[in-house]
Amino acid sequence: MQNTLFTNDNLLILNGLNSNIADLIYLDPPFNSKRTYSAPIGTKAAGASFKDMWTWQDIDEAYLDKLIEKYPALVDFINSIEATHSKPMKAYITYIAQRMIQLQRILKETGSIYLHCDPTASHYLKQMMDCIFGKENFRNEIVWCYQGTGEPKKYFKRKHDIVLFYAKNHKMVFFNQEGSSEPISEFSKSKYTKEDGGGKYKEIKHKDGKIYKQYIRSHQRYQDVWQIPIINAMSKERTGYPTQKPLALLDRIIKASSKEGDLVLDPFCGCATTCVASQHLNRKWIGIDIETKAVEVLHDRLEAQGNFLENDKFIHRLDIPQRTDIPQILPTDKTAKEQLYKEQKGRCNACDIDMRIVDFEVDHIIPRAKGGGNYYENYQLLCASCNRIKGARPMEYLRAKIITRAKYIKKIQFGE
């Protein structure tokens, strides 16, 4: 696989990527901060911007209906957010969940995912991740601490982010013992005051009353609180991109949860810090961002760090990939239509009307224009009316139209 940067809606790209290909996923999505971020004029990322405010207009409103069968606990949780917080927060968590479900499919069984957030929504995102990945696959809540200015009058200074670390399968997850450790401090070394044939040690008294020897080690596992400086205004790393994260942060994550040659995916890559860190550490990578400015910024950053050799060039793609890990079946395939008819029990998958098989039309659930492929899992049978209404739009659009139509008919019939 060649290093690739996609500039398009990341949901469309994720729908088109094969399952079980990524060894590590890091994502730093918007935080629902109710702000609009723009890179200053005169910086490398000048012109790049994104809106971090959410409403139901940003979400297909009927999407939760689609999830209810496979993720009932997730849907119940998301629906509760409107009462405990707000409708915009409900929309934000739905937006992230829609993408997280695809990321869970794309991640290898041995893989890890790191979700970068802040206290604005970290508690809601944690519950969302438990629903999608399973609470048993939660590994750590990492606190990234940093310094900064500002003296709030009625609360403590807010100077940390949260990184939620999950495994795809905690029994199989790869965790690099060397990449996740640091040399022990001189202070720690000073506690090992005894010595025998095995080397220096200190005595540890356990709950059972027995005293055990703990021998000195050269390294110890990182704690879950990371003191890594933010990028200051004079840093050579600085691109001007809003919310840019330091290379040191990504270096630590990549070293801990991948090895050379592994594939790292970042679906909100922004100024491409994950891509740059991955290339520097000899990992393969896929970056996705809606902003085409990311291409220019990535090119400049790779060139500046001396990694832009002929064999280090990346592909820039605007198109939507097509999955190749599942059999391709044409919608005209008679056997596929018969199987769908049996599964749907002879009913339209939208309006639920009974029809003969010859009267049904085969529809792409994810439209071809949005990256949907010719494979069985992406097909459904619709009546001609529903198929015309849906067109090249997602299923959520059709469901919303059916609900609106039913309300209108009820109003006409009963005067409600």
For 334-414, the fitting CATH number among 3.10.180.10, 1.10.30.50, 2.20.25.10, 1.10.287.70 is 1.10.30.50
CB atoms within 10 A of CB 279: 22
Task: Answer for the pair 127, 35: CB distance below 8 angstroms, yes or no.
Answer: no
CB atoms within 10 A of CB 151: 5
Q: In Å, what is the CA distance from 371 to each residue of 16, 103, 174, 310, 362?
A: 6, 16, 31, 31, 17
Q: In Å, what is the CA distance from 78 to each residue of 53, 131, 320, 347?
A: 17, 10, 29, 29
By CB atoms closer than 10 A (0-12, 13-18, 19+), residue 13 is buried
The candidate with the shortest Cα–Cα distance to 29, out of 130, 164, 141, is 164
- Convert 65-89 to b/e letters by CB count within 10 Å (16 or more is b): ebbeeebeebbebbeebeeebeebb
Start and end residues for every CATH 3.40.50.150 domain found in the chain: 4-178+224-317
Token pair of 24 as six digits = 């590590």
CA 241 – CA 49 distance, rounded (Å): 8
Residuewise pLDDT in 10s, the chain (416 residues): 789 999 999 999 999 999 999 999 999 998 665 566 565 555 665 556 556 555 656 666 667 877 887 899 999 999 999 999 998 899 999 999 999 999 999 999 999 999 999 999 999 999 999 999 999 999 999 999 998 878 899 999 999 999 999 999 999 999 998 889 888 888 888 889 899 988 998 998 888 889 988 898 888 899 999 999 998 888 888 888 888 999 999 999 999 999 999 999 999 999 999 999 999 999 999 999 998 889 999 988 888 876 555 556 799 999 999 899 988 898 899 999 999 999 999 999 999 999 999 999 999 998 888 888 898 989 999 999 999 999 998 888 888 888 887 777 777 766 65
CA 61 – CA 413 distance, rounded (Å): 26
Rg (Cα) of the chain, in Å, rounded? 25
Strand stretches in 279-321, DSSP E: 284-289, 315-317
Strand 199-205 versus strand 211-215 pairing type: antiparallel
CA 386 – CA 188 distance, rounded (Å): 69
Collapse the DSSP code of 289 into the 3-class scheme (helix H, G, I; strand E, B; otherwise coil) and give the result: strand
CA 68 – CA 63 distance, rounded (Å): 9
Instruction: Give just the sign of the alpha carbon dihedral 35, 41, 42, 47.
Output: positive
CA 240 – CA 196 distance, rounded (Å): 55
CB atoms within 10 A of CB 277: 26
Collapse the DSSP code of 283 into the 3-class scheme (helix H, G, I; strand E, B; otherwise coil) and give the result: coil
CA 18 – CA 16 distance, rounded (Å): 7
Query: Residue 195 forms beta bridges with which residues?
Result: 200
pLDDT of residue 69: 79
Q: Which H or E element spans position 71?
A: none
Token pair of 251 as six digits = 């270096």
CATH homologous superfamily, domain 4-178+224-317: Vaccinia Virus protein VP39 (3.40.50.150)
pLDDT of residue 23: 98
The candidate with the shortest Cα–Cα distance to 28, out of 221, 298, 241, 181, is 241
The candidate with the shortest Cα–Cα distance to 29, out of 129, 110, 106, 107, is 129
Query: Which residues have C-beta within 8 Å of that of residue 86, sequence separation ≥ 6?
Result: none
3-state percent breakdown (helix, strand, coil) of the chain, nearest 5: 35, 20, 45
Task: Answer for the pair 381, 340: CB distance below 8 angstroms, yes or no.
Answer: yes
CA 118 – CA 141 distance, rounded (Å): 11
- The alpha carbon torsion through 215, 218, 221, 224 (nearest 10 deg) reads 110
Greatest distance between any 2 Cα atoms in the chain: 92
Start and end residues for every CATH 1.10.30.50 domain found in the chain: 334-414
